[in-house]
Amino acid sequence: MSDAPDVDDRVDYEDGSSSEMEEEHVEEYEGEDNDDDNQNAEEHDVEEDNNIDIDIETAEDEEEEEREEYSHLLSLPPHGSEVFIGGLPRDVGEEDLRDLCEPIGDIFEVRLMKDRDSGESKGYAFVGFKTKDVAQKAIEELHSKQFKGKTIRCSLSETKNRLFIGNIPKDWTEDEFRKVIEDVGPGVESIELIKDPTNSTRNRGFAFVLYYNNACADYSRQKMIDSSFKLEGNAPTVTWADPKSSPETSAAAAQVKALYVKNIPENTSTEQLKELFQRHGEVTKVVTPPGKGGKRDFGFVHYAERSSALKAVKDSERYEINGQELEVVLAKPQSERKHEPSYAYGAAAPTPAPFALPTFGGFAAPPYGAMGIAGSFAQPMIYGRGAMPTGMQMVPMLLPDGRVGYVLQQPGMQMAPPARPRRDDRNNNGGSGRENRHDDHDGNRGGRRYRPY
């Protein structure tokens, strides 16, 4: 009897010890879980911090690469510093061209064009100088010069640095458009956002952007033709535009010694103009063409030397008569005046005849002449002047020479295909088709038989 309590006490003691041990074990297990959770959370935070650091470093690297690319593009020579040299002997090499051009000024590069298959010279080359002034000097010295028994030609190369951008939101201002364009790439020199003449607060949906050189323009062009680039949701149309014609871009213009002066006040004498411009050199004559109501507001000032004319058109020069500022540029040579009647003197520009274009994209376009659009190929971008008709927009169209032009077209409208000739029109001797078929069956061989296939 005396042993029973001891057993119960022992059992109770053991049970108590066991429960306490279980509680301690559970607490230890929970403590381990908490430690693991804390460690995992810390590792996750560290991983997130590392990812953020990597993203920041990547963004910084991309910005640094973009800055380097911008710097490289702007370090290249400006537009107008490369010349074309043609009429070269076939045995002339790049070193010969360097020897020819180095006395003129610093050369950036020489590219002699060679046949892809034979490797022989094609007889022309491009020489890039470091400045536009040296390129102009090269044109003056090399054009019509004898070189190894041949007369060579020299003029500015026709590299492009001007972009046409279409599908621009029409409620954008020029400042809004400029901010977007300048963020795309470097070297933006001027922006011409075409205004709506009927509403000064809106534009016509397209613009021209002039860049520092061809490399800057092409860099921006490549970024804007990407499908991800949008102008407020609009996918822009981006193509090369011909540069505005300049009197400095041809070999004939290298000989020009005259100025075109515009915005001349009324009652201004030729003596006044001569006195104003003779500080740059000897003036041989001043011409002010007569107008309907007297003299026109423009004239021509001729110098004895071309260098005097070049000094007169520098950006730093300003001219005023009676408080009215004059516009002064180099005059166009006679051979080019027919393309730009506003600069012509003594010659009228012929009006190009309208012509019809072939069908393109499933519809036939009306002739350019019917829309008041010039039919010449002087400019690849063809668009009307003045107010744009309601419901019309600029539509790209393939020109006969393979370039892309823009014409006014009503969206979604397709011209009906030409009507097929009636059966009776196919027969040369007139009359109805039924009568002709009857004649054919009767043996009349004077007309063509109707063949359904």
* Tens digits of pLDDT across the chain (453 residues): 444 444 444 444 444 455 555 555 545 555 555 555 566 656 656 566 666 666 677 777 778 888 899 999 999 999 999 999 999 999 999 999 999 999 999 999 999 999 988 889 999 999 999 999 999 999 989 998 999 999 999 998 888 999 999 999 999 999 999 999 999 999 999 999 999 989 989 999 999 999 999 999 999 999 999 999 999 999 999 999 876 655 445 556 667 889 999 888 888 888 989 999 988 999 999 988 876 666 678 889 999 888 888 888 886 788 888 888 888 888 887 655 544 443 333 334 344 444 444 444 444 444 444 444 444 433 444 444 455 566 666 677 777 776 777 676 666 665 555 556 565 555 554 444 444 444 444 444 555 565 554
List Cα–Cα distances, 268 to 297, 311, 382, in angstroms.
Answer: 9, 23, 38
- Quote the CA–CA distance of 237 and 225 in Å, as a whole number: 8
- Quote the CA–CA distance of 129 and 76 in Å, as a whole number: 10
List Cα–Cα distances, 119 to 86, 110, 152, 323, 326, in angstroms.
Answer: 17, 16, 21, 61, 53
CATH architecture of 253-330: 2-Layer Sandwich (3.30)
CB 328 within 8 Å of CB 316: no
* pLDDT the model gives residue 251: 56
3-state helix, strand, coil in the chain (%, to 5): 35, 25, 40
The predicted-structure confidence for 245-268, as pLDDT tens digits, reads as follows 554 455 566 678 899 998 888 888
| Phi, psi (rounded to 5 degrees) for 321 | -135, 120
Tell me, yes or no, if the pTM score tops 0.85. Answer: no
| Average predicted confidence (pLDDT) for the chain | 74
Give the residue carrying structure tokens 């520092």.
212
Tokens encoding 30: 């929970």
CATH 3.30.70.330: which residues of the chain?
82-156, 162-240, 253-330
- Quote the CA–CA distance of 135 and 81 in Å, as a whole number: 5
Please give the DSSP secondary-structure letter assigned to residue 231: B
Please give the DSSP secondary-structure letter assigned to residue 376: -
CATH number of 82-156, picked from 3.30.470.20, 3.30.360.10, 3.30.428.10, 3.30.70.330: 3.30.70.330
Count CB-CB contacts under 10 A for residue 175.
Answer: 9
The domain defined by 162-240 folds into Alpha-Beta Plaits (3.30.70)
